[in-house]
Chain A
Amino acid sequence: DQQVKQNSPSLSVQEGRISILNCDYTNSMFDYFLWYKKYPAEGPTFLISISSIKDKNEDGRFTVFLNKSAKHLSLHIVPSQPGDSAVYFCAASGRLVRGSQGNLIFGKGTKLSVKP
């Protein structure tokens, strides 16, 4: 059973508009969340993270929002640029999550296409 879910396999956005990528999780013991970005033929690279003690973390054009009661987080990219086109993975961890040893658990990814 998937503990981290990205229900939208793909998203298409116009350049300059906002991109919103969503992620849901099932285990309330997760306490740290990360977003990774992956270009074709490359490995995933870290983008931004958020601890469960916060509900928002911002880094330039990228903002991650965490709604613990809904077990939901989202990544906002404003404004979107063609270079943002990539697959975005949501990941979660929690030292008290049984069976995970505190390691990252990834969603399946959302492919973002930003059209000029």
Chain B
Amino acid sequence: DAGVIQSPRHEVTEMGQEVTLRCKPISGHNSLFWYRQTMMRGLELLIYFNNNVPIDDSGMPEDRFSAKMPNASFSTLKIQPSEPRDSAVYFCASSLAHGSRGSYGYTFGSGTRLTVV
């Protein structure tokens, strides 16, 4: 398996533009998580899905952020409009079961580094 695949790896955009981040989870995993990493706040959970259904989006910072999971193999995180303070690394992770705590926990993608200028 290729692991969790995120695209793009880097995104530079101007303030006010729409940004879409993409994630392909590991085949067979039924939970998907979007995290944001910043120096100040570390790894923050933004939203997670179980069986393609959003379970908890309380970590989504504002209405400018939205996430979808139209099927088991694809998810998007959209920011519209983007602002400079959204600049961060965004990670997608997947796991086999809801709240899985197996030996391997979550599998993370390589992240998307977003810069909003």
Does B45 sit within 8 A of A, measured CB to CB? yes
A109 to B39, CA, bound (A): 9
Choice from B35, B41, B45, B110 contacting A42 with Cβ under 8 Å: B110
On whether the beta carbons of A49 and B110 are closer than 8 Å, the reply is no
- A89-B42, A106-B43, A108-B42 given; A46·B56 CB < 8 A: no
Complex-state Cα separation, A44 to B107, whole angstroms: 8
Find out whether the CB atom of B42 lies under 8 angstroms from the CB atom of A93.
Answer: no
B99–A103 CB distance below 8 A: yes
Q: Is B46 an interface residue (CB 8 A)?
A: no
Contact A109 B110 (CB under 8 A): no
How many A-B contacts are there with CB distance less than 8 Å? 60
Kindly state whether residue B105 has any CB partner on chain A within 8 Å.
Answer: yes
Residue with the highest number of chain A CB atoms closer than 10 Å, among B43, B98, B103:
B43
Alpha-carbon separation in the docked complex, A110 to B43 (Å): 12
Q: Which of A101-116 contact B (CB under 8 A)?
A: 101-109
- Say whether A109 contacts B43, CB under 8 Å: yes
Minimum Cβ distance to chain A for residue B52 (Å): 16
B34 within 8 A of A: no
Assembled-state Cα–Cα distance A93/B102 (Å):
11
Where the two chains meet, the residues of B that have a C-beta atom closer than 8 Å to any C-beta of A are: 4, 33, 35, 41-43, 45, 48, 55-56, 91, 93, 98-99, 101, 103-111, 113
Query: Interface of A with B (CB < 8 Å)?
Result: 32, 34, 36, 41-46, 49, 89, 91, 93, 95, 101-109
